[in-house]
Structure 1
Amino acid sequence: MERVVGEKEFLDPARKNGVGRSSHWVIRVCGLTIGFALVVPVYAVESQSSGQVSDEPVKPLSAPAGAPETATSDWHYGAYFDLSYVVNFNFPENHLWRSRATASRHNELAPNMGYVYVRKDAGETSRWGMEFGLQGGYDSKDFAYLQGEPKVDGADTWRHLHRANVSYLAPVGNGLTVTAGLFNSLIGYESLYAKDNNNYTRSWIADYTPYMMFGVNAKYPVNERLTVAAFVINGYFHLSRPNDQPSYGGQWAYKITPRLTATQTIYWGPDQNKTSLEFWRLYGNHILEWKGDDLTLAASYDIGTESIADQPGSPRTFAMGGNLVAKWHVSGPWSLAVRPEFYWDRNGRWTGQEQFVKAITSTVEYKFPYRWTTTMVRLEYRYDESTGVGGGFFKGGEVSPGISGLASTQQLLLLGILWSFDSP
């Protein structure tokens, strides 16, 4: 199943403002163990659509011949394909971006992502909904677990699920939506799919938070400004299986003004083989987004901590990162985006390396919608600098047989072509 917050799904302890009663069950499906909860919050907030965009249909400039001017069907289907060529000026012999899961193949033509999907929307006239899709490509390979973590049985097969969930819009107050299965993550501003983001390459905090969640989530719009949500999932990353215990979380999203939205999502759960509370991971995601007619500004800040059970003294680890995204629709099909960021993995728990990273990414986009399809061409330049005990990026040459050399900086120049088809 999949997780989403903004574009990902979430359960937020911050929803302590909306505490409710819950009944829990634990089930195992295809090697994945999850907790199941029916949550009825007292307070809820309207879920925010962040920088990532779900498979919402793209409105065509004109409908195909014979098609109705307005679509009334709850059923939607579509496809997506993402191809890029990334020039890495370090010219690493292994063609890899060290410590990264997305856009990681360099100096070669890379089919990073492709998927097909079908979706039925839940609404007042038809309260049951569903999503199902299949995906493949380099970006689907390592996005769902941290380095060194045990994987669920059949992980190399389950990674090809784009989404697989059912939902129900319950006639409770303003409408309580419960979703079970694999859904878009509630944590984070960016999507696994480049087309839904302002830049082609993802930020560091995006690659180290879940892009999907497997479990159950419930969302409730308290009023026009506030939406709350809660979730019970099988773990931080849905294809990681360090134990059989569920994890928990919550989220609130508040529209400060019609254009400015603040969102906080909290995750708390066991992600090691020892499941005592002292070893649970606590992670917080915070987003502030302002959307104008032609300008979007968004700031994200994440912080996570966890004590390591299998190391002497059970040291407490920390990871922290943030970024600022600005996207400007210049005119017609042209847009510009820039994203400065930083990421600190003090103990190497998230990235596998003790490092502090600074980066800046700038993107030029040309977008061409035609009927039910959208084609985007992106030209992007990115600069990363990694310092610290384990910092660095792969470069050409080997320091010993089979061991690549490292450089403290990396410059990327890429061309990405993104094509999508979405029924209305």
Structure 2
Amino acid sequence: MQTEAKKENSISPSSLKFGAYIDTYYLQNLNRPVVKEREFTTQAVRNQEFNVNMAHVEAKLEEEKYRGRLALHWGTSVVANTASEVNSDRYSNQLSTRNIQEAFAGVKVGKETWLDMGVFFGNIGYESWISQNNINYTRAFALDYVPYYSSGIRLSHRFNQKWSGQLQILNGWQNITETNKDKAFGSQILFKIFPNVTLTLNQFVGNEAPNTERKQIRLYNNTILEWHISEHWLIALQADIGAQRAGERFAYEPWWRAYDPSLSETREERSLAFRQWYHGTLWLSYKISSDYRLSFRVERFYDPKQVLAVSNSPNGFIAYGYTTTFDILSFEPALLRFEYVYRRSMDSIFPYRDAKTSAKEDFFIFAFSLRL
């Protein structure tokens, strides 16, 4: 009896899989800045340098009633994405947080329902942290300013062949170590309109202020429409809107000084105003043959109040960009990529030669990745 019980609970070899991924790049910045690191991005951040964007090793399994994935990673995008993680608490897991890509365990709680807990990829946005999954190598502005990873618990359910959804309780907006006493909430609705057309709606709500400040509720909605027109053509659209309550406002009340000269002319009080930002992106990909693919991206990011993208410029972060990517697919499971990116801002915010700044940034990237 004991032998039979052990046999029933053992993991089948086919469900346990090991893997690895290596993503390397060289970036030639035509601005020729003095500084080595690019601004307003976490992908391919080093100028005029061969480097590793990401390398990871993984172990994952999916049995009938339980599943999980453990993946550890390294690279310049990893350091950039985890830079805001808390590192002052003694027991915050801070020494290993940076290297956790995913670490979650899940159980099946219904016929089509899973409950996962731990650290997992963020669900907002069309582009993945794994560059080989994307039709462009770099990420759109909006994808660099939404969570690459989340920490918490998620309930996912497939209603039928067309509808599925998720509910999440999270520590916050891309953080493993908690930054305040509140929890955030996320959700996803996925609808297969047709077999080749998918609509995805992602939402987030949570307080993004530390405990030392007034609550600043962040609301975010992400809409994605993906259409596989044919075997060769793919088009995708993404539209994002976000709003976050301002931390404070100052009421001008100079008359109180007539009673008490030590008082200020302004009085701080809770703000009811929300600062908003918007983003729109269009992707178009053409698979020329089984060996070659050409892809384009057009984007615009509008964050005048600098809620997400802090440029310290008069007009805030208002920018647009164009990306062209040529892929050589014949090395599968490896991928060889050539990409040109042009970005322009309303203000002069991009590092330029001789320690100056420019309103434009453009660069070429050569990238090679391998999935094992």
Alpha-carbon deviation of 1:308? 2.6
- Matched to 1:257, the amino acid is F
TM-score w.r.t. length of structure 2: 0.84
Cα deviation for residue 154 of structure 1 reads 4.9
User: Does residue 349 of structure 2 align to residue 412 of structure 1?
Assistant: no
Equivalent pairs: percent with the same residue? 23
Structure 2 distance, partners of 1:103, 1:156, is: 24
Whole-Å separation in 1 of the counterparts to 2:47 and 2:238: 27
* 1:393 matches 2:350: yes
**Does the CA contact (< 8 Å) of 1:83 and 1:109 recur in 2?**
yes
Amino acid at match of 2:128: S
Aligned to 1:74: 15
Listed one character per residue, the Cα deviations across residues 346-373 of structure 1 (whole Å, up to 9, x for unaligned) are 1112111212111000000002355xxx
Q: What do you get for the CA RMSD once the two structures are aligned? A: 2.2
Q: Residue 214 of structure 2 contacts residue 248 of structure 2 at CA under 8 Å; is this kept in 1?
A: no
Q: Retained in 1: the 8 A contact 2:199–2:225?
A: yes
Size of the alignment, in residue pairs? 333
**2:99 paired with 1:160:** yes
Q: Where is the helix percentage greater, Structure 1 or Structure 2?
A: 2
Q: Is the 8 A contact 1:165 1:180 kept in 2?
A: yes
Select 1:225's aligned residue among 144, 154, 162.
162
Contact 1:143 1:211 in 2 (8 A): yes
Contact 1:270 1:277 in 2 (8 A): no
Q: In structure 1, what is the equivalent of residue 207 of structure 2?
A: 270
Task: Please say if residues 321 and 343 of structure 1, whose CA atoms lie closer than 8 Å, have aligned partners that are also in contact.
Answer: yes
Match of 1:340 among 265, 286, 298: 298
Q: CA deviation at 1:150?
A: 5.2
Answer yes or no: is the 8 Å Cα contact 2:301–2:319 preserved in 1: yes
- Structure-2 residue corresponding to 1:106: 47
**Compared with structure 1, are the counterparts of its residues 239 and 182 closer, same or farther at alpha carbon in structure 2 (3 Å cutoff)?**
closer
Question: Which letter does structure 1 place at the counterpart of 2:142?
Answer: I
Partner-residue secondary structure (3-state), 1:177: strand
Residue deviations 1:165-189 (CA, integer Å, cap 9, x gap): 001122x2x4101111111112111
Is 1:366 matched with 2:304? Answer: no
Q: Cα distance, 1:380 vs. partner?
A: 0.4
What is the Cα deviation at residue 274 of structure 1? 4.9
Q: Counterpart of 1:38?
A: none
Gap change, CA 1:357 and 1:240, over 3 Å in 2: farther
Higher Rg of the two aligned structures: 2
Q: Tell me which of 179, 182, 194 is aligned to 2:131.
A: 194
2:142 partner SS: helix
1:318 aligns with 2:276: yes
SS at 2:37's partner residue? coil
1:355 matched to which residue of 2? 317
Corresponding residue of 1:129: 67
Structure 2, unpaired ranges of 5+: 1-11, 251-268
Structure 1 246/278 Cα, relative in aligned 2: closer, same or farther at 3 Å?
Answer: closer
Distance 1:110 1:348 in 2: 30
Is the 1:319–1:344 contact (alpha carbons within 8 Å) kept by the matching residues of 2?
A: yes
Q: Which runs of 5+ in 1 are unaligned?
A: 1-70, 399-404
Higher relative contact order (CA 8 A, sep 6+): 1
Contact 2:150–2:176 (CA under 8 A) maintained in structure 1: no
